[in-house]
Structure 1
Amino acid sequence: MAQRGGMVRGGTRRRRHWLAGCLAGLLLVAGCASAPPPPSAESLGALSPWRARMAQAALAEWRAWGQITLEGWPETLPREPDPRLFDRIIAYWAAVPGEGEPVIRRHTQTHAALMAGLADSTLPGEPPPGLPSISLWAWPAWSAAFISYVMGQAGVPSYVFPPSASHAFYIDALLWQAQGDPARAAFLPRDPAEYAPRPGDLICADRANLPMLHWQERLSESGQFRPMHCDIVVAGGGGLVQAIGGNVRDAAVLRRFPADAQGRALPPPPDKPPFVLILENRMDLAVGS
């Protein structure tokens, strides 16, 4: 019986988002040629201090990764990221104490063994071997560690945003804060269908096989793992929401999602994880500048 209910629920979601998802794809293709550029220093200067700090920290990582920009949800990257960015992935894991240590240890040992093997197989006079592909370090997924790192670089206190290797768990903490004191919460949950994200907000998708229909469903399962993904919004306008996230096709990238006339992100195509939550940044109110 539960399976039948899940099938009905999934079918309802597919019917609800099919037309919007198809429209999103069409708008994305149509808007590629006229897409606005990533935000400039001048545009960030017009933001409130905490919004600007978070957007600037995310943009700094994007630049470090070669400014890879994707339109929506492509299956491949336009180019292979620099393998030397391995050190940056290690830094992301270092931002999640406890969870990151075993990953760092395993990655560094594997990297050292690979480099030693490549060196041993290189004959005298041959050019040095290439570095291992960055894709080798895509698991465990480091997207939540990336967000935790960016938050730390922006100066967000850990009591406001507790670093985590799981998006769902830091979301739980932010939802708990918002439920306990909505007037002073640093981040407020918003429905993506009703709220237009702004720079410094987080836009989150549910990657589970049976996605939530609304973020409030998370309240009843708090503390349980759920595969999710969040990006940091860095710009809006021009029919797009521009956001930066980590471990997207094994890289840190800027993605451009189609938006409606009010700036709200349109639902992704039916075969992509749906947006279920936007976390409105109210750090300036909660923490001060």
Structure 2
Amino acid sequence: MEKKITNDSKNKNRFEGNYFEWLKEELTGWDRFPWWLFGTGVGFQLAILLLDKITWISIVSFIGIFFGMWCTVAMGAGGYNKKGERVSSHAINGLMGSVSVIAYVIVNLSAGHWWSVIDQLCFFFLIDVELLLTWRTWGQGNNNIIKSLSKIGWFVVIVVILIAWFGLYHLGIILNDSNPVWDALALSIGGVASWLCFRRYSTTYTLWLISDCVNVVLWLTALQKGYSQASLPMLAMTVFYLATAIMGKFNWRPSKVG
């Protein structure tokens, strides 16, 4: 079915098909590289699943990683819409992103990463929920304006992250977080990145790059200490997310200084 666009009372484009028709539209027009990246990531994760002992946590982690990789690739995938206009993102979060969040929450709870659970919930409420509510007009009007942070803005972001890290680390010790140093830093950076994405700042991908590096260390530590069976697939997933953050960094360019 063809995409039907009308102008509402505020003169914004609005998708008039159903949600699954919208998803189909968002899955078309991608550049080739994002699809190659997604296919490579899924193939690697499938190999990890099949070559190791299959348990309920490995299945849950695979499901979460599959949908998580799909959503993050889409968020940073450049391409073209049906009008032939260049776009910087194809949003398929919302329902599909919610599946990955549920799986990641279960995996992090089983690993004792309390702050990573909250990090996932921040992503869910700031990105997935908004998209579930605004998918008909996503990428139109103000939703398509990407801003950049000023030097003062960067200073505030860094201060907020450092203060949050300090507080969460000490609280994590009290709550017996399995890896309080890196888990606290993951939430401090990831939570701010999700907020900036919600506010349409290109800076979010710079922070997600750093956050992905932190998560690599977090899950590498989990693999070395052996306290989570999901540590290897989650480690591979964070490396994949690092690649998608690099891709998004190039595609999400400021269209307006904010």
Shared fold by TM > 0.5?
Answer: no
Calculate the TM-score normalised by the size of structure 1: 0.24
Higher relative contact order (CA 8 A, sep 6+): 1
Query: Normalized against structure 2, the TM-score is what?
Result: 0.26
Report the structure, 1 or 2, having the larger helix content: 2
Higher strand share: 1
Larger Cα-atom Rg = 1
